[in-house]
Structure 1
Amino acid sequence: MTGNGNALRLLAYAFAAVDHGSLRRAAKALRVRESSVSRNVLKLEQLLDMQLFERDFRGVRLTEAGGAWIDVARAHYDGLLDAFIQCARDNKDAKTLRIGLCWVTGGEFLRRLIDRFGSRYPDVILSIEDIPASQCMAAIRRRRLDIAFTHDLGPVTSCCSDVFWQERLFVLLSSRHSLVGKPAVAWSDLAQMSLLVPAGPEGPRPDLRLLERIVADGGPAIQTSWADQATVILKVQLGQGVTFAEESYARTVTIDSAMWKPLEGHNSVSSIRAVWLDSNPKLSVLRLIGLAKNMAKRTSDQNGERCMRSQERCTAG
């Protein structure tokens, strides 16, 4: 039995002869000698122990048995070519790491993670896009995305999930608000206010489960509106309510006639988790997860050391 590669070559010659009705024209299309086409067609007939073609001075035509066999063989051949093409596409896609951000503004941790990954693996193309919460899990399961960073989506099934970092939350107050003089505020301080939440297509998105906990713990009433972040900020400037964001956003966005204040107490921290498919064969996914875990551990150790030093100073004092 001839090898798989040879078998595919023999089929290619036979199909060319069928399509062109002539060994000479088939050879011209394949850019080989006519004798090469004739020799390989004969080898295929010997392999099958079947006469595929009748030959005369006008060219070649399929025998009845040859026509029936070619129809079946061509269907399998075309499917095999499609498989090879898809495999080639998959290999090309393997060099691209598709990252989804679902209601996540970014943060210093995520910026450092992606920057460090890009430095270590420069051959990997990083594709970063926003993904709605309603589509997040389906995009991971269908491998439209390789990994997504999101807030708490509740129980995660058929996917891997891990919390890599947390961000402190900041609340935006009008500069005329009675609490602007406090170094930090708690949700209970804002119980009589409206917490403005944008529901438009643009701007950072809050953690919906966090909003539920804020209301349950006696915090401000949630007021959602079909507006982007700019409109919500304008309402805060006018004293019509407050809004909040993660520290990475608050630290980089200065608002006229308004002030960011850190939150303290319950529900003052937002947890950011990664979601990915364990069966995803891309090595780049495992590398990103490993790098994120190492960075998260170092960050945790550094925070622990700072707390210990702070406690030692308090004890010494």
Structure 2
Amino acid sequence: MDDIEIRELRYFAAVAEELHFGRAAQRLHMSQPPLSRAIQLLEQRLGVDLFHRDRRGVRLTPAGAVLLEEAGQVLDAAAAAVERTRRTVDPAERLVLVTKAGASHELLRALLDTYAARPDALPVEVVLCEVGEQRQVLRRGRADVAIVHSPYDVIGGFETRDLVTEGQVAIVPEAHPLALRPQVALADVSDVAGLPIARWPRHDGSYPPGPGPEVRTQSELAQLVSLGRTLLVIPESSRAWQWPDHVAVPVLDAPLVTTKLAWRASSRPAGLDSLLAAAGEVADRLIGHPTAARTA
């Protein structure tokens, strides 16, 4: 059997993610008939059905689900190879770090300052993204290292280094009764607050079920909290974007969150080892100063 082409995987992934040939064709900037024909030819060559097609629409078969997982890794690897190749001709050698906007702000500043003081430090380009986007940026080679938060961020396939573990807080509007409490429990957040918790998209783009509003950006979330339409529970350090009419209340029984540095297991870019050494220095300082760890 001939090798599968990157183009075929891209076509297949678009249909698998959209579950609609028309939308997938629009996304690929092509007409639907050649896309449908390309998928049929791919199925013939593989000897399996990748999609169930009936009156209810298009659904992945078990074989299609396997190929979608594998195709994502291949497409990410191809994109990363292109990005890294292009960067070799960039005369300004640098380390690219991606992080969620507003997350672990003081910790990030301490890490950058500590790294910059090292004699072998490279310039660092900071790329800011929305919740859950670091994984894709890292996998596609647009960044060398990411700041992630476990257990919220998907870190499978990456190597990691722990920085700090911290508690979580509920962000509520200042007029809400919970804002007057010195601390709350998760039961208070779910049973007493009377506000649904906002829902972020999962790594596949879908939203978890629930009554809370669907959000994609922290600015959307901040305004919804301010309007008294939602609340959220986040790591204590992820509060740089907090508005003046928000109140952060510690949630005593919320799961602990560990902030980590993550990088592709298959890549070790220049400057990473020195950055990890700087991360170790910062982590040691935070462990020695619990107050700093809580506010990092």
Superposed CA RMSD in Å reads 4.0
1:280 has 2:279 as partner: no
Q: TM-score, normalised by structure 1?
A: 0.51
1:194 corresponds to: 195
1:98 corresponds to: 96
How is 1:17-166 mapped onto 2 (pairs within 5 angstroms)? 90=88, 92=90, 95-102=93-100, 105-121=103-119, 124-131=122-129, 136-137=134-135, 139-141=137-139, 143-152=141-150, 153-154=153-154, 156-157=156-157, 159-166=158-165
CA shift for structure 1 position 165: 1.6
Q: Kindly provide the amino acid, as one letter, of the partner of residue 181 in structure 1.
A: L
Could you tell me whether the CA contact under 8 Å between 1:102 and 1:148 is conserved in 2?
no
- The structure 1 residue matched to 2:283, chosen from 296, 302, 305, is 296
Percent of residue pairs identical: 18
CA shift for structure 1 position 115: 1.7
1:242 corresponds to: 231
2:249 corresponds to: 261
Q: Kindly provide the amino acid, as one letter, of the partner of residue 114 in structure 2.
A: R
Could you tell me whether the CA contact under 8 Å between 1:163 and 1:274 is conserved in 2?
yes
CA shift for structure 1 position 252: 6.8
Q: Kindly provide the amino acid, as one letter, of the partner of residue 140 in structure 1.
A: L
Structure with bigger RCO (C-alpha 8 Å, 6+ apart)? 2
CA shift for structure 1 position 287: 0.5
Choose 1 or 2 for highest CA Rg: 1
Q: Kindly provide the amino acid, as one letter, of the partner of residue 156 in structure 2.
A: V
1:52 corresponds to: none
Q: Kindly provide the amino acid, as one letter, of the partner of residue 283 in structure 2.
A: A
Could you tell me whether the CA contact under 8 Å between 1:198 and 1:229 is conserved in 2?
no
Could you tell me whether the CA contact under 8 Å between 2:103 and 2:240 is conserved in 1?
no
> 2 CA distance for matches of 1:177 and 1:142?
42
> 2 CA distance for matches of 1:272 and 1:303?
15
> 2 CA distance for matches of 1:191 and 1:141?
35
Change (3 A) 1:273 1:103: farther
Range with bigger deviation, 167-176 or 143-152: 167-176
Cα deviations across residues 95-119 of structure 1 (Å, max 9, x unaligned)?
A: 2001111476233222100122123
Structure 2: gaps spanning 5 or more residues:
1-83
Q: Kindly provide the amino acid, as one letter, of the partner of residue 118 in structure 2.
A: R
CA shift for structure 1 position 154: 4.2
Q: TM-score, normalised by structure 2?
A: 0.54
> 1 CA distance for matches of 2:124 and 2:143?
11
CA shift for structure 1 position 284: 0.7
How is 1:203-242 mapped onto 2 (pairs within 5 angstroms)? 223-226=212-215, 228-242=217-231
Q: Give the 3-state SS of the residue equivalent to 1:95 in structure 2.
A: coil
Report how many residues are paired. 203
Change (3 A) 1:121 1:167: farther
Change (3 A) 1:155 1:245: closer
Q: Give the 3-state SS of the residue equivalent to 2:177 in structure 1.
A: coil
Could you tell me whether the CA contact under 8 Å between 1:102 and 1:130 is conserved in 2?
yes
